[in-house]
Amino acid sequence: MLSFIKNIDNKNHKPTFGALKILKYIGPGLLVTVGFIDPGNWASNIAAGADFGYTLLWMVTMSTIMLIILQHNVAHLGIATGLCLSEAATMHTKPWISRSILGSAMVASVSTSLAEILGGAIALQMLFEIPIAAGAILVVIFVGIMLVTNSYALIEKIIIAFVSIIGLSFLYELSLVDINWVQAGISWVVPSIPEGSILIVMSVLGAVVMPHNLFLHSEIIQSRQWNLEDDKVIKKQLDYEFVDTLVSMLIGWAINSAMILLAATTFLTNGVKVDELQQAQSMLGPLLGNNAGVVFAIALLFAGIASTITSGMAGGSIFAGLFSEPYDVKDNHSRLGIAVSLISALLLIFIIGNPFRALIISQMILSIQLPFTIFLQIYLTSSPKVMGKYVNTKSTTALMLLIGLIVTFLNILLFISFF
Confidence at residue 153, expressed as pLDDT on a 0 to 100 scale: 56
- Rounded Cα distance between 115 and 124, Å, is 14
Domain interval for residue 131: 18-417
Q: What is the rounded CA–CA span in Å between residue 280 and residue 45?
A: 11
pTM (whole model) above 0.75 = yes
From the CB of residue 1, how many other CB atoms can be counted at a distance below 10 Å? 18
Computed on alpha carbons and rounded to an integer, the radius of gyration of the chain in Å comes to 20
When divided into structural domains, the chain yields a total of: 1
Flag whether 185 is in a domain: yes
Is residue 312 domain-resident?
yes
> How many Cα atoms occupy the beta-carbon half-sphere of 235 within 13 Å?
4
Q: Specify the pLDDT at position 44.
A: 80
Cβ(183)–Cβ(56) below 8 Å? no
Euclidean distance between CA atoms 163 and 138, whole angstroms = 20
Tell me how far apart the alpha carbons of residues 207 and 41 are, in angstroms, rounded to a whole number.
5
pLDDT score recorded for residue 55: 92
pLDDT of residue 10: 40
Assigned domain for 305 exists = yes
pLDDT given for residue 288 in this prediction: 56
**Any idea what the CATH number is for the domain that residue 94 is in?**
1.20.1740.10
3-class secondary-structure state, position 287: helix
Query: Is residue 179 one of the residues assigned to a domain?
Result: yes
Count the Cβ atoms, other than its own, within 10 Å of residue 186: 15
Side chain identity, residue 321: G
DSSP state of 201: H
In a domain, 1, yes or no: no
The residue among 328, 26, 79 whose CA lies nearest residue 225 is: 79
Spatial distance between the Cα atoms of 150 and 184, rounded to a whole number of angstroms: 43
| Alpha helices in 53-190, H assignment, sequence order | 57-81, 85-92, 95-128, 132-148, 152-173, 181-189
> Is 11 within a domain?
no
Query: Residue 94 has what pLDDT?
Result: 93
C-beta separation of 84 from 5 below 8 A: no
Please, what's the largest Cα pairwise distance for the chain?
63
Dist CA 384 CA 274 (whole Å): 50
Domain assignment present for residue 57? The answer is: yes
- Cα 396 to Cα 9, 77, 98, 132, 166, distances in angstroms: 32, 13, 23, 45, 35
Q: At what angle do helices 211-220 and 85-92 cross, to 10 degrees?
A: 90
Using DSSP's 3-state secondary structure scheme, residue 149 falls into: coil
**Residue 410: what pLDDT?**
80
Backbone torsion region of residue 274, taken as left when φ is above 0, otherwise alpha when ψ lies between -120 and 50, otherwise beta:
beta
The SS3 of residue 383 is: coil
**Secondary structure percentages of the chain, helix, strand, coil, to 5:** 80, 0, 20
Alpha-carbon torsion, ordered 100, 104, 109, 112, to 10 deg:
-170
CA angle 343, 302, 288 (to 5 degrees): 145
341 within some domain: yes
pLDDT of residue 378: 95
Q: Write out residues in the chain with pLDDT < 50, as ranges.
A: 1-23, 226-227
Report pLDDT for 3. 41
